[in-house]
Amino acid sequence: EPEVTQTPSHQVTQMGQEVILRCVPISNHLYFYWYRQILGQKVEFLVSFYNNEISEKSEIFDDQFSVERPDGSNFTLKIRSTKLEDSAMYFCASSDRDRAYGYTFGSGTRLTVV
Amino acid sequence: EDQVTQSPEALRLQEGESSSLNCSYTVSGLRGLFWYRQDPGKGPEFLFTLYSAGEEKEKERLKATLTKKESFLHITAPKPEDSATYLCAVQSLSGGYNKLIFGAGTRLAVHP
């Protein structure tokens, strides 16, 4: 069964450092997303991406965040200057045009900012 | 404001003891309601999408139903491997086609 692959599974970084979280969505999907889940809290929408541009973003997704699809397979989330409160599980997801089968989520990257 | 509330927060069942999880939602027009299963340290795993009141979907021991205000996930004769957190999420007409709004989830533990 096709899956969304995220790397690394766990990243520890110092406050103020830049991090790039990587995702390989399902190959025939057209829509790509990032969500995050702070420990013990709800899963929260960050951003959606379609046709090489951001189609929607939440208030969480400020100037410190950016997304990119650098080639035909990868989808990345960059946090420019990490803060302690950025510590969370970050999930990449993708969907096809119909979204009939929902969104397929990856296993996540646990980001720890120290 | 669009909102999703799940109850109970946690549920402990004996193997074979059927029960239901509730998802109440307040949205300005429902585009779709999604149920996911999440295991510890993993991403949400898609279970069902429901689009209109009266709709029902089934998969193995799980059955999801939808009304205009809430959705239920019925678990029939659960097994220990059904233990997980079950998440409900909605897409609203005003919230944008791309955004899922999640509830806090129900942590289900099924004991032998």
Residue of A nearest to B6 (CA): A42
Q: Within chain B, how many helices (H) and strands (E) appear? A: 0, 11
What backbone phi and psi angles, to 5 degrees, belong to B81?
Answer: -70, -5
How many CA atoms, within 13 angstroms, populate the side-chain half-sphere of residue A13?
A: 24
* Contact residues on chain B for A108, CB-CB shorter than 8 A: 41-43
Given an 8 Å threshold on Cβ–Cβ distance, is A55 in contact with B98?
A: yes
The letter for the amino acid at A5 is T
Give B19-79 as a DSSP string: EEEEEEEE-SSEEEEEEEEE-TTS--EEEEEE-STT-EEEETTEEEEE-SSEEEEEE-S--
Digit-coded pLDDT (tens) for A63-96: 999 999 988 789 999 999 999 999 999 999 999 8
Sorting pLDDT into bands at 50, 70 and 90, what band is A34?
A: very high
Per-residue pLDDT, B29: 86
Nearest of B27, B24, B23 to residue B2 by alpha carbon? B27
Given an 8 Å threshold on Cβ–Cβ distance, is A42 in contact with B104?
A: yes
CA-CA-CA-CA dihedral for B39, B100, B102, B107, to nearest 10 = -20
A42 touches chain B (CB under 8 A): yes
Lowest mean pLDDT among A9-23, A100-114, B13-27: A100-114
* Contact residues on chain B for A109, CB-CB shorter than 8 A: none
Sorting pLDDT into bands at 50, 70 and 90, what band is A99?
A: low
Sorting pLDDT into bands at 50, 70 and 90, what band is B99?
A: confident
Sorting pLDDT into bands at 50, 70 and 90, what band is A49?
A: very high
**Rounded distance between C-alpha atoms, residue B63 and residue B58, angstroms:** 4
A18 touches chain B (CB under 8 A): no
